[in-house]
Amino acid sequence: MQIDVARSFYTVDEMKEHIDNAAQFKFNMLHLHLTDDQGWRIAMDQPLVNPSGIKYTDLTEISGKTAMTYNDAGVLQGTELGHTGFYTKADYQEIVRYAGENGMAVVPEIDMPGHTTAALHAIPQLNSAGSAPKPLSGTDTAPAQGSGNVGGSTFDADNPATYEFTKEVLTQLAAMTPGPYLHVGGDESHVTPHDKYNKMITAFAGQVLEVDKKVIGWNEYSSAALPAGAVVQYWAGNRQTVANRVLANDSKVILSPAEKTYIPQKQESSQTAGGTWACGGPCTLKNHYEWDPANYLPGVGDDRVLGVETVQWGEWIRGMDQTESYQYPRALATAELGWSPQASRKYADFNQRVGALGGRMALEGLTHFKTTGINWTTASAAPETIPVLPDTSSLPEVSPLDLALPAGEFTGGAYLTLKNLPANEWLLVAVERVGKARGNANRFEWVRSNELGTAPLNVANGVTPGDYNVTVQGETGSLLGFATVAKSSPANGNAGN
C-alpha cells in the first residue's frame, strides 16, 4: 500500500492508523511517497563531508512547510488545503518500528529526477542550467509548487551537485530503513531530455546498490540501463514495451495499474470528488477486483510478480476520513488479489464477504464508501455475550488466529468458549483493542464453525496487554457473540509497545 505524504502530510499517529487499517487486511508493505513537487517530508542531517556546501536541513525547514496550496478541480468542495509537516528521523524510525510490529515493511520513495520542485525550492545548488523550473528573478531557487500539475520539474544531469545530493539522501535513508528496498521514482519526468533522464536513473540505481539496497522505480525508469534484479513498478504506459524491458533485464515487477489500483479515482459517479482519467469514468470496486496480475503484462508470469499495490495520491483527498473512504473497500480487492490465485476468486463471493465487514469497520471507526450493490452490515445490533473463562494455564491454546500473529511473542491471557455455533458456517472472529479507534492489535480471521467446536479460543495470544473486544460474526454479517477480555502480561513475558 502506498501513502502519499508529500502532497498532503499525515502525522505519525495518522500513519499508525493507516498501518492498523492495512495490517488487519494482511497488507505487508508500506510504500511511503516522501517527496514530490509539493513537499519534502523526511529530515536529513548535515554530513561531515559536504563538497558543495548543501544545507540538507533546509529540505524540511523550507519544503516541509509546503503542500497543495489550492484545491484542484477534482477536490471535494470545502475541503481543507494540503497538510504541511515532516518526519524527523526519530518519527520515521517509529513508523518503521510500528509497521514492523504489525507485519509490514516500509519502502521509502524519493521521487526523481522529476517531481523534484520541493528539493529545487530548498537547495540553491540543485538549480542550474538543466534544472526546471527556473528560479524567479532575484531568487536562487525554484518557486514552491502548490498545484497538482505534474511533469514540469527536473534535476540537471550535468550538475555534479545533483549526484552528490542524491547519494547523501539515499545513504541517510538507507541507514534508517531496515527493509531491502529504496524507491527512486522516475515517473512523469516530462521536461527531462531522454538521454539525460537515462543517465540520471542509471546513476541513482547504482547509488542504491552502493548502500546495499534493491532499487524500485516506476515503469518509465525501465528505459535506462538498470542493474540486474531492479524492480519495475508498473502504473501506466504500453504494456508490451514494459514487459519487453522487464524480460530483457531479468527484472521483477510490482503491479499497480492506475485503472485497477489508484485510490483518488472516483468509485461511483455519485461522488463529487476524485478523478476519472484512469478508467474514463469511475473506477469501481468490481473493476479493482476483476483482473489477473499473473497475466497483466504480456509474457510476464506470476514468477516475476513481487506483488500488487493499492496507490493513494494526495492531489484530491485530504485527511484520514476522506482518505479512508477512497481506500476502502477498494483496497480490500487489491489485498485479495495479492494473496489469492485467480482460480479461487469470485466477485460475488468477495462482495458478500466485504459487506459482512461493514459492521466491523464501523465499530473500528474506519470510514469506508458504501459501494452500491453490497449488502452492508451495521454495528447497531446489540450482540450477545459469550462466557469468558479466567486466565489459566490448564486450558489448551486453540486459536484460529495463530497464523495472523507475529512469531516469538508471549502467550497466555483470556480465553473464550464458543458455544451453540451454527453448523459448518464461516465465522469472522475479530480482536480489537479497547480505547483505540484502530488498535495496535487488530486481528481477524475467517474460520469454519465446525473447526472450532466448543474448544477454548485464545483471543489474545501475542498482543500487547490491555482490554480487547472480541466479536464473532456469521458469514451473512449477523453478530453471534461479543465479549471484552483482559490481557495481562505473564511474569516471564515481555509485552510489546
CA dihedral 14, 15, 17, 20 (to 10 degrees): -170
In whole angstroms, give the CA distance from residue 94 to residue 16: 9
How far is it, in rounded angstroms, from Cα 396 to Cα 447?
18
Q: Which of 188, 315, 336, 364 is catalytic?
A: 188
Q: Cα-Cα-Cα-Cα dihedral of 152, 154, 156, 161, to 10°?
A: 140
Distant-in-sequence contacts of 84-91, Cβ < 8 A, 24+ apart: 84/9, 84/39, 85/9, 85/11, 85/41, 86/9, 86/39, 86/40, 86/41, 86/42, 86/43, 86/60, 87/12, 87/34, 87/41, 87/42, 87/43, 88/43, 89/42, 89/43, 89/45, 89/176, 91/12
Query: Residues near 478 by Cβ (< 8 Å), separated by ≥ 6?
Result: 377, 381
**Using an 8 Å Cβ cutoff, are 52 and 472 in contact?**
no
Nearest to 446 by CA among 469, 417, 477: 477
* Rounded Cα distance, 340 and 350, in Å: 11
101 is catalytic: no
For every residue of 293-323, DSSP letters joined together read: GGGSSTT--TTSEEEE--B--SSS--HHHHH
Report the residue count for the chain.
497
Asked whether 65 and 122 are in contact (CB, 8 A), the reply is no
In this structure, what C-alpha cell is assigned to residue 33?
511517497
Residue indicated by cell numbers 495520491: 313
Secondary structure letter of residue 397 according to DSSP: -
Would you state the cell numbers that stand for residue 316, as one nine-digit string? 484530491
- Supply the Cα-derived Rg of the chain in whole angstroms: 24
Which helix (H) or strand (E) element contains residue 388?
strand 388-389
Catalytically active residues, by annotation: 188
